A and B are shown apart, each in its own frame.
Chain A
């Protein structure tokens, strides 16, 4: 997830202090991984440098001064472009598993075993998500659903690979 774009998007509804931004982010998107203050401030200084946000006001207090940030026109355009660009599907997991399966076949280990163990691990994650979904609100449900569908896609790949192990063995083991 692009933290910069998400913070920019949060600023579209009006100027906010760094602390408010962090709170809004954590509340809406940070269920699993809340932002560190450092991340917020480093991101904001990058956005400032690129002219995507500007300092709308500075409050002096007992501690360090508090900057209030506002999104610029360029920032709004940037958010719009980000929202309109599809995400690149990430095939990284399959390629790691594929490597493991092929290596198992090459070294005459039980590749089905690797797939079974991986399925059990995926299902373990799916059970946790399903449970969280059952107890959560709509936002929780939608976030969990997204993760569940991704895990399910991996599992379908596992099943398909399990069904094709003999063919794969022929393909990779014989020269």
Chain B
């Protein structure tokens, strides 16, 4: 495939079935640096599978995914894993913070896994926690902070490596409106200022309203609404 001009991550003809269930049936996608794209659609439409394929977590049965000109299918597991660690960031519905670590250790974790010294990793982590307005929680453990705070810590962790793409799967799904909006504001502001692209899976219109454009997935097929309207 040829990626759309200027795109950082692009996919076409993605197919993925789990047994008899077809999750993706020819889905397409593309995103530019610094762009926030919402992936919308009803439950079971294939939007999370699309995100997992784009992030190299799931291998599609057919179709191709180009990241920065490189075909994900030509990479081995170790290369894909390195990509996820250094160039991608992840935020899930439930923060998935490591309960035994303090918040600052959680945020610093991706840097530590990349070989950064503890001191430097935690310093960078604190900088990001400050931007996400949770630096006062540095020494607390995830169990001691609220859902909204924990999610902001998770966003700081996703951004700490200055990734080029953040994959956010229902990042506000477990939060009330006010906390959800704050998380979205901080996530999109931080991402845009760092030219980080955000792939945002959500079924909530208020969350999607923080994106630049949306792609609708239905029955495993995608529809780029920008090209339609």
Contacting residues of chain B (201-229) with chain A, CB-CB under 8 angstroms: 203-206, 208-211, 214, 216, 218, 223, 225, 228-229
Checking A119, A122, A134 against B185 with a beta-carbon cut-off of 8 angstroms, the contacting residue is A134
Flag if B209 contacts A123 (CB, 8 Å): yes
Is the CB of B99 closer than 8 A to any CB of chain A?
Answer: no
Is the CB of B42 closer than 8 A to any CB of chain A?
Answer: yes
Checking A112, A123, A134, A162 against B208 with a beta-carbon cut-off of 8 angstroms, the contacting residue is A123
Residues of B within 8 Å of A151, CB to CB, are: 205
Is the CB of A79 closer than 8 A to any CB of chain B?
Answer: no
Whole-angstrom distance between the Cβ of B52 and the nearest chain A Cβ: 23
**Quick one: which of A119, A162, A163 has the most chain B CB within 10 A?**
A119
Residues of B within 8 Å of A162, CB to CB, are: 42, 218
Flag if A126 contacts B206 (CB, 8 Å): yes
Flag if A163 contacts B209 (CB, 8 Å): no
Flag if A117 contacts B229 (CB, 8 Å): yes
Flag if B205 contacts A155 (CB, 8 Å): yes
**Quick one: which of B204, B218, B229 has the most chain A CB within 10 A?**
B229
Is the CB of A152 closer than 8 A to any CB of chain B?
Answer: yes
Residues of A within 8 Å of B185, CB to CB, are: 134
Q: How far is the CA of A124 from the CA of B209 in the complex (A)?
A: 8
* A116-B42 in contact given A127-B209, A152-B206, A155-B205 (Cβ < 8 Å): no
Residues of B within 8 Å of A156, CB to CB, are: 205
Residues of B within 8 Å of A117, CB to CB, are: 228-229
Checking B42, B204, B216, B228 against A163 with a beta-carbon cut-off of 8 angstroms, the contacting residue is B42
Interface flags for B107-141 (1: CB within 8 Å of A; 0: not) read 00000000000000000000000000000000000
Is the CB of A121 closer than 8 A to any CB of chain B?
Answer: yes
Q: How far is the CA of A122 from the CA of B211 in the complex (A)?
A: 13
Residues of B within 8 Å of A134, CB to CB, are: 185
Whole-angstrom distance between the Cβ of A117 and the nearest chain B Cβ: 6
Is the CB of A130 closer than 8 A to any CB of chain B?
Answer: yes
Flag if A126 contacts B225 (CB, 8 Å): no
Checking A119, A124, A127, A148 against B216 with a beta-carbon cut-off of 8 angstroms, the contacting residue is A119
Flag if B206 contacts A112 (CB, 8 Å): no
Whole-angstrom distance between the Cβ of B220 and the nearest chain A Cβ: 14
Closest residue of A by beta carbon distance from B189: A134
Closest residue of A by beta carbon distance from B38: A123
Q: How far is the CA of A112 from the CA of B42 in the complex (A)?
A: 13
Flag if B228 contacts A116 (CB, 8 Å): yes
Interface positions of B (Cβ within 8 A of A): 40, 42, 185, 203-206, 208-211, 214, 216, 218, 223, 225, 228-229
Give 9 closest A-B pairs by Cβ, nearest first.
A126-B209, A120-B225, A130-B209, A155-B205, A120-B229, A152-B205, A127-B209, A152-B206, A163-B42
Kindly list 6 other residue pairs between chains A and B, CB separation below 8 angstroms, not including A119-B216, A156-B205, A162-B42: A117-B228, A121-B229, A123-B209, A127-B209, A134-B185, A152-B204
